[in-house]
Amino acid sequence: MKRVHTTRLERAAIRAPWSSVLALLALATCVQATLCCSSAGAQVVVLRVDPAAEAMSQQLEAALSELGLMPDPGYFMEARRQGLDPTSDQALSLLTPPAGAQLAVVPRAEDSRSVVVEFRDGRSGASLGTTTLPLVRGALRRAGRNALRAEVNARLSGPFATAPAPRDVGAAPAPRGESAFVPEGEIGAAAPDDQAVAEGESETGLRLRAFVGAGLGTRDLEWPVPGETHAVETGGFLAVEIGTAFALELDAELALGAELVYQTSLDNQLEETHIAGASDTIQVRTHRFAAVLELIIGADDGVRVAPGLGYGVRALHPEVHHLRTPSYSLTGPLARVALRIALGESVALRLVPEAQWLTVGDALEALGVASSGISIGGDAALELILGRGLALELSYREAHAILSSSLGDGASDVERFTTLRAVWTP
């Protein structure tokens, strides 16, 4: 038998084709596995049936981002191109399957309190029912997100591991970020990135309320002197105010908050008459400041109760201190209970009874007023919600300080503010 000898180079040349084939097979397997994993991850799509609902669609995407979210493939434009009403059952049944997801989420009716969401089967486009998610001032907060995930979980029927519905036969899967319906450059909104999700989380954990207002106010002071009672009445003055409130959500209907309010008079004058009959016109300034910590119990769309403790200051300061009108401050801790009652989707009533322990300054003590007293009063407001994040509030405050005097008769201080506020709740 003739022995055939091969060199090392010849043996390498014989093995090379088999090595290349094995390498290509391994690469193909990896690519296929990657595509399958990517496809399996994209199980949910939020379809845009109305451009006006874009903000809500983004909130829904942020809530579902960890459930295998894929971008809207240009549903609205494709429905219009085919002459279909994007909100109709016909359009959703026809155009949901090509989106390539297992489940489609469709935002429907929406107001500041709730949003109605419809679910569509990704394979057939058939409706799987609707649900109503609670909103807080137009935002999908923790309770709404949890309810949405529970509804999606129930319809996906598992731990989100099943593959999505296939696209139309012969249609290649659209790469992520490109549209299955419209040309590049006219694609639907992409899935929210990590930053958007983080912003959504921070929005749901912290509430902010800020307001500015203007209106009218009065301030009246009485104190006894031997044989008579002296009084200072400012009359009506122009008043302005500014305030802010923060609340950290502890639960869907429980929050810990803080409120700061400042109210002051503008360009207020009064006539002071002396014993000899002469009178002086003097500038006076009356103002109030309060800081309160409160526990907020309840939801915005029902009854909300917020007991609180804080500290308050109210003062009257004339520009000339040597005349009869005293310059003084009443300060001390306060307790209050804020009650807010929603009267519908856009109207609410707020009642805030308040009690305060007062410390009297040296100026009033020199007039014989006791060093401490109490104040009883509170606020009432009617709120009109104009839209997402904006409201008008008509507010009235009245508080009576009850003070004793060494001359027997009591002294009193009464403050009143009536203002119209513009309220911002981002």
Q: Give the domain CATH number at 389.
A: 2.40.128.100
Number of domains making up the chain: 3
**Residue 132's pLDDT is what?**
92
- 209 and 265 fall within a common domain: yes
Instruction: Output the DSSP codes for 112-176.
Output: SSEEEEEEEETTT--EEEEEEEE-BTTB--HHHHHHHHHHHHHHHTSSS-SPPPP-STTPPPPPT
**Residue 181's pLDDT is what?**
54
- 47 and 25 fall within a common domain: no
- 334 and 261 fall within a common domain: yes
pLDDT, greater one: 19 or 21: 19
In a domain, 199, yes or no: no
- 163 and 56 fall within a common domain: yes
**Residue 40's pLDDT is what?**
43
Enter the pTM of the model. 0.59
Name the pLDDT band for 188 (thresholds 50, 70, 90).
very low
In a domain, 71, yes or no: yes
- 180 and 218 fall within a common domain: no
In a domain, 346, yes or no: yes
- 227 and 313 fall within a common domain: yes
pLDDT single digits (tens) 36-54: 444 444 589 999 999 888 9
pLDDT, greater one: 271 or 249: 249
- 78 and 188 fall within a common domain: yes
**Residue 421's pLDDT is what?**
97
Name the pLDDT band for 323 (thresholds 50, 70, 90).
low
- 186 and 249 fall within a common domain: no
pLDDT beyond 80 at 276: no
pLDDT beyond 80 at 169: no
- 122 and 34 fall within a common domain: no
In a domain, 281, yes or no: yes
**Packing angle between helix 194-205 and helix 54-64, nearest 10 degrees?**
100
Most confident of 6-10, 205-209, 227-231: 205-209
Last residue of a domain, one of 192, 222, 247: 192
In a domain, 197, yes or no: no
Amino acid letter, residue 188: G
Return the CA Rg of the chain: 35
| Class of residue 73 by CB neighbours under 10 A (exposed 0-12, middle 13-18, buried 19+) | buried
pLDDT beyond 50 at 176: no
Last residue of a domain, one of 149, 164, 192: 192
| Class of residue 263 by CB neighbours under 10 A (exposed 0-12, middle 13-18, buried 19+) | buried
In a domain, 273, yes or no: yes
pLDDT single digits (tens) 69-127: 888 988 999 999 999 999 999 999 999 999 888 999 999 888 877 899 999 998 899 99
pLDDT beyond 90 at 209: yes
| Tokens standing for residue 137 | 């001032």
- 134 and 273 fall within a common domain: no
State the average pLDDT for the chain.
79
**Residue 344's pLDDT is what?**
82
Last residue of a domain, one of 161, 192, 223: 192
pLDDT beyond 60 at 290: yes
In a domain, 64, yes or no: yes
pLDDT beyond 70 at 282: yes
In 3D space, the residue among 424, 419, 139 whose CA is nearest the CA of residue 301 turns out to be 139
**Packing angle between helix 54-64 and helix 142-156, nearest 10 degrees?**
70
- 51 and 25 fall within a common domain: no
Query: Of 157-161, 344-348, 351-355, which range is least confident?
Result: 157-161
pLDDT single digits (tens) 226-243: 777 888 888 899 999 999
Residue 9 domain boundaries = 1-38
pLDDT beyond 90 at 389: no
In 3D space, the residue among 242, 55, 253, 31 whose CA is nearest the CA of residue 139 turns out to be 55
Name the pLDDT band for 321 (thresholds 50, 70, 90).
low
* CATH number for 158: 3.40.50
In whole angstroms, give the CA distance from residue 130 to residue 108: 9
In a domain, 159, yes or no: yes
pLDDT beyond 70 at 158: no
**Residue 168's pLDDT is what?**
40
- 54 and 28 fall within a common domain: no
**Residue 213's pLDDT is what?**
97
